[in-house]
A and B are shown apart, each in its own frame.
Chain A
Amino acid sequence: MPTMLATELKTYEQHRNALLGTAEGKFVLIHGTEVAGVYDTKMDAIAEGYRRFGNVPFLVKQVIKVEVPLQFVSNHLGV
């Protein structure tokens, strides 16, 4: 499924190891190639993203070693 956040995801991967060393478990805010900050909660990071960048695509992602996918056991999702 395509995403508008390909650049931000690439930026995250480039900084992932460093972020794991300093901010594991926290939420990183990324806009384009800029790592804009690290926050304790997801909602704090989202609020700061809208405040700094406005209503544009940006990435808020928890800094974790292993990505665990969200689970859906019913067949409602068309993917």
Chain B
Amino acid sequence: MPSFTVQLPNLLNSGPLVTVQVAVGSTAEAAMQAAGVPTPSPLPATAMIDTGASASVIRQGVAAQLGLYPIGVSYITTPSSTNVPCNEYLMRFVFPNQVVYEGTAIETPLQGQNIDCLIGRDILAHAVLVYIGYGNQFTLSF
């Protein structure tokens, strides 16, 4: 089972953060190649594993940097807003150890200085998350 483990200095304070690469999805990449458009390089991103998010999220602007256009619209509800429409994109998340997940992510502004994406329950639905709080580490297996 492909997996990776992250050891952090203070998991309690930072939350489960992991550096990932975000890239265009494979079928989008094929469409770009068919059109003679160079595939944009994957972008490094700081992701938070967020069991409180029912879907995965990328920071506003990431999709444009990757040359992607929306392929769907999802409506979201947060503690401060209801039924906000957000664009949805086909993305590829490359985790440590070359663990790859491909699926859709919605794009919203993200608060906080250092989070570029949220790994939500749509991805966790395919995974096992082991959170070892006293050891300041977590493992995600697919």
Asked if B32 is at the interface (CB within 8 A of a chain A CB), the reply is yes
Asked if B106 is at the interface (CB within 8 A of a chain A CB), the reply is yes
Closest chain-B Cβ to A69's Cβ sits at a distance in Å of 4
Asked if B30 is at the interface (CB within 8 A of a chain A CB), the reply is yes
- With known contacts A54-B35, A71-B54, A77–B68 Cβ distance under 8 A: no
Asked if B90 is at the interface (CB within 8 A of a chain A CB), the reply is yes
Asked if B78 is at the interface (CB within 8 A of a chain A CB), the reply is yes
Asked if B53 is at the interface (CB within 8 A of a chain A CB), the reply is yes
**By the criterion CB–CB under 8 Å, are B82 and A69 in contact?**
yes
* B contact residues around A78 at 8 Å (CB): 108-111
| Most chain A CB atoms below 10 A, which of B25, B70, B72, B81 | B72
* B contact residues around A57 at 8 Å (CB): 69-71
Asked if B140 is at the interface (CB within 8 A of a chain A CB), the reply is no
Asked if A3 is at the interface (CB within 8 A of a chain B CB), the reply is yes
Bound: A65/B73 CA distance, A: 16
Of A15-23, A32-40, A43-51, the one touching chain B? A43-51
**By the criterion CB–CB under 8 Å, are A79 and B108 in contact?**
yes
**By the criterion CB–CB under 8 Å, are B79 and A70 in contact?**
no
Instruction: Mark contacts of B60-81 with chain A using CB atoms, 8 A cut-off: 1 yes-contact digit, 0 otherwise.
Output: 0000000111111111111111
Closest chain-A Cβ to B43's Cβ sits at a distance in Å of 17
* A contact residues around B32 at 8 Å (CB): 55
* B contact residues around A47 at 8 Å (CB): 27
* Residues of A that sit less than 8 Å from B by CB: 1, 3-5, 9, 42-43, 46-47, 49-51, 54-61, 67, 69-79
* Residues of B that sit less than 8 Å from A by CB: 25, 27-28, 30-32, 34-35, 37, 48, 50, 52-55, 57, 67-87, 90, 103-104, 106, 108-112, 115, 118
